[in-house]
Amino acid sequence: MLSFTEAVHDGYGQTFRIDRLVHYEKTELQELVIFDNASFGRVLALDGLVQLTERDHHAYHEMIAHVPVLGHGAVRDVLVIGGGDGGVLREVLRHEDVRATLVEIDARVIGTARTHLPFVCGDAFDDPRAEIVIGDGLAFVRDTDRRFDVIVVDSTDPVGPAAALFGEAFYHDCKRCLRPGGVLVTQAGVPFFQGPQIAAAHALRAGLFAHATAYLAAVPTYTGGPIALGFASDADLAPGDLALLRERFRAARLETRYYAPDVHVGAFALPPEVRSLLHGA
Ligand code: SAM
């Protein structure tokens, strides 16, 4: 029996049975595996770490996309850093007035997502409102003159090419690329296991933005409890006004499975042990 064990935390891992190996490849940058599992459906892993599964990716993609877009309320341009599976791109493009630029360092992630993960990306890569850039997100925000209303950092964990996406220079350049009142959202990690990483990256964002916090989403295969998503802006947009969010959600005519305006507001309620990672004891 073939199996896949993700051993990201010291002395602990989660194991999936591989019912069918769909794709295996060593790209120039990382090991890319796609397999099918009875409980989670299709699974994408990069360098031994689970990136998404068919069963629970909607929770992550809806929360990382709709919270900043609806929280902001007048988004025209979104920048997605990473996110080569197309899930964030698809969710942000559900908003009719939004254009999106996706900067992914590994073209093979996009290529295999198109072939093997259509339930994640849909037609998003071919949407005329989408621009796809193959390159390093760090260099893109350093060099571009363009400005965005929302930046979503949908990166792998801070090892290899993603390490710099948790650093001060990157956050500084993200802030420069945001229009006034713009929002930066980041995949921050699971507080139960990755507290020091979350605290360090949050401290950098808090040093740059007038308002910095995090919100939580339950994504079962990001094992160890809820995942934290960093949220930073010079505007005071968290947690948001429930009545206003309801109005925006209705106007956007979104069909969602995890996101709802009251979930949006509630996601910013942090248990004291998570709050203390961000704001001290
Ligand atoms: N939601 C997933 C998670 O939290 O595990 C992340 C999904 S997405 C597949 C992550 C993507 O970030 C990968 O495809 C990887 O190639 C890309 N990536 C890593 N470092 C990058 C960088 N410096 N610039 C742009 N993309 C990067």
Query: Nearest Cα to 104, choosing from 60, 153, 147, 56?
Result: 153
Residues 81 and 17 both lie in one domain: no
Buried b (16+ CB within 10 A) or exposed e, 239-270: bbeeeebbebbeebebebebbbbebbbebbeb
- Which H or E run contains 41? strand 41-46
| Burial class, 5, CB count within 10 angstroms (exposed 0-12 / middle 13-18 / buried 19+) | exposed
Number of domains the chain is built from: 2
Number of the ligand 1 atom closest to the C-alpha atom of 137? 24
The CB of 136 under 6 Å from ligand 1? The reply is: yes
CATH code for the domain in which residue 268 is found: 3.40.50.150
Cα of 84 from ligand 1 centre, angstroms: 7
Task: Indicate if the alpha-carbon torsion angle 100, 135, 124, 252 is positive or negative.
Answer: negative
Q: Which atom of ligand 1 is nearest to the CA of 162?
A: 20
> Does ligand 1 lie within 6 Å of residue 87's CB atom?
no
Q: How many Å lie between the centroid of ligand 1 and the Cα of residue 146?
A: 21
- pLDDT 10s digit of each residue in the chain, 281 long? 799 999 888 899 999 999 999 999 999 999 999 999 999 999 999 999 999 999 999 999 999 999 999 999 999 999 999 999 999 999 999 999 999 999 999 999 999 999 999 999 999 999 999 999 999 999 999 999 999 999 999 999 998 899 999 999 999 999 999 999 999 999 999 999 999 999 999 999 999 999 999 999 999 999 999 999 999 999 999 999 999 999 999 999 999 999 999 999 999 999 999 999 998 86
How would DSSP label each residue in 133-157? Answer: EES-HHHHHHH----EEEEEEE---
Question: Does 152 share its domain with 266?
Answer: yes
Query: Cβ(138) to ligand 1 under 6 A?
Result: yes
Q: Judge whether 191 and 7 are in contact, CB under 8 Å.
A: no
| Alpha-helical regions (H) of the chain | 57-72, 87-93, 107-116, 118-121, 137-143, 168-177, 191-208, 242-252, 261-267, 272-279
Q: What is the pLDDT of residue 281?
A: 64
Side chain identity at 9, as an amino acid letter? H
**Do 220 and 131 share a structural domain?**
yes
Kindly state the tokens that stand for 104: 């992914």
Residues 176 and 268 reside in one and the same domain:
yes
- Tell whether ligand 1 has an atom less than 6 A from the beta carbon of residue 214: no
Residue 49 shares a structural domain with residue 68: no
pLDDT of residue 100: 98
| Same domain, residue pair 91 and 114 | yes
Residues 103 and 225 occupy one common structural domain:
yes
Tell whether ligand 1 has an atom less than 6 A from the beta carbon of residue 161: yes
**What is the side-by-side strand order in the sheet with 77-82?**
130-134, 99-104, 77-82, 148-154, 178-189, 227-233, 211-217
Atom 16 in ligand 1: which residue has the minimum CA distance?
106
Spell out the residues 6+ positions from residue 227 whose beta carbon is closer than 8 angstroms to its own.
60, 187, 188, 189, 190, 216, 217, 218, 219
Q: How far apart are CA 119 and CA 233, in angstroms?
A: 31
Which residues constitute the domain of residue 37?
3-53
Q: Examine the domain organization and report whether 38 and 73 are in the same domain.
A: no
Q: What is the CATH number of the domain that holds 15?
A: 2.30.140.10
Q: Do residue 235 and residue 110 come from a single domain? A: yes
Residues 14, 70, single domain; the answer is no
> Domain end: 31, 53, 75, which one?
53
Among residues 101, 10, 97, 117, which one has the least CA distance to residue 57? 117
Distance CA 6, CA 16 (A): 8
Residues with Cβ within 8 Å of 126's Cβ and at least 6 positions away in sequence, in order, are none
Query: Could you give the residue numbers annotated as active site?
Result: 154
Separation of CA 280 from chain center:
25
Q: Is the peptide bond before 239 cis (omega within 30 degrees of 0)?
A: yes
Other beta carbons within 10 angstroms of residue 63's beta carbon come to 25
Q: How many angstroms is it from 165 CA to the middle of ligand 1?
A: 10
**Shared domain check, 150 and 29:** no
User: What confidence score (pLDDT) does residue 279 get?
Assistant: 86
26 and 157, same domain (yes or no):
no
